[in-house]
Amino acid sequence: MLNFVLCDDNLPTLNRLNKMLEAIFINNNIDATVSLKAQSSTDVLNYIENNKVDVLVLDINLKENMSGCDIADTVRKNNKDVYIIFTTGHLEYALLAYKYKTFDYLPKPIIEEKLEETILRLMDDIEKSPAKFLKLNNNKTIINQDDINYIRRDGMKLIVHTDDRTYESYTSFNKIEDCLPENFVRCHKSFIANVNNITNIETNKNIITFSNNENCSIGAKYKNNFMEVFKNGISSNNLDSINNRK
């Protein structure tokens, strides 16, 4: 699921934008949600610090010390992949969209058809992205790969586990394994683990623990290769921490 964050200091405008987006998601079968509606830059930056965000829709002209451009600049320093859409009532600010590598800008008042056009172009861009997102169910389910802890095979189904929910698909397990980046490693005949989200490995019990305290198993056939890839993919400090928790 794609996470959208909205920021506008005008509450009626913010609520209207949220309502339009929710309608666009429903009408186009887009697996997305507005995870935050904010009226201040502080709320946005605090949220982003602790949560993954895929799309930011920012009013350029916030009535505070920090503008939408300042938010975009701060976010870009740590996240080059997040999509940014500016909204503005002043077209002279539109050129700033290029400076911050924004996906689009929308003049106010926002027209729903123009917003929908932008969102559909954004979805098309995501579908063409080879690395950041996992697309399932004919691209109706789109998951940020960073959010995935592990993928489990259950008969003919795939169950994709993230911190806060699961997704089901009938996609081939081997096909999914082939299209994932190298931080996803087969650790069992029925599990593929994202080594970036592992918080603990009990090698004596062959159990992997993830950031949300969910577990999956390590199979004997896959253990040596998995541990080698895992050790090569993390810092020595993290490795010591995990080894101490065997």
Statement to judge: residues 117 and 172 lie in one domain? no
Q: How many whole angstroms from its chain centre is CA 47?
A: 14
Assess whether 154 and 122 both reside in one domain.
no
9 shares a domain with 111: yes
Q: Based on the domain organization, do 154 and 206 belong to the same domain? A: yes
Mean per-residue pLDDT for 118-146?
81
Same domain (yes/no): 120, 86: yes
CATH number at residue 213: 2.40.50.1020
Residue 139 included in any domain: no
Instruction: Specify if 232 maps to a domain.
Output: yes
CATH code for the domain of 43: 3.40.50.2300
- Final residue in a domain of this structure, among 128, 158, 175: 128
Summarize the confidence of residues 141-166 as an average pLDDT. 90
State the pLDDT at residue 132: 76
Q: How many residues does the chain have?
A: 246
Over residues 47-54, the mean pLDDT reads 88
pLDDT digits (tens, 9 = 90+) for 160-185: 999 888 999 988 888 888 888 888 99
Residue 135 covered by a domain: no
- Same domain, yes or no: 170 and 208: yes
Q: Are 130 and 119 in contact (CB under 8 A)?
A: no
Q: How far apart are CA 1 and CA 35, in angstroms?
A: 11
One domain, residues 79 and 108: yes
Query: Quick one: 103 and 17 in the same domain?
Result: yes
Q: What angle do CA 217, 148, 139 make, to 5 degrees?
A: 125
How high is the pLDDT of residue 67? 79
Task: State the average pLDDT over residues 228-246.
Answer: 54
Same domain, 113 and 172: no
Domain count, the chain: 2
- 183 plus 220 within the same structural domain: yes
Per-residue model confidence (pLDDT) at position 69 = 83
Range of the domain at 43: 2-128
- 51: confidence class by pLDDT, cuts 50, 70, 90: confident
Average pLDDT, stretch 27-40? 93
Residue 42 has pLDDT above 60, yes or no: yes
Banded pLDDT at 114 (limits 50, 70, 90) = very high
| Predicted structure pTM score | 0.65
Q: Does pLDDT of 115 surpass 70?
A: yes
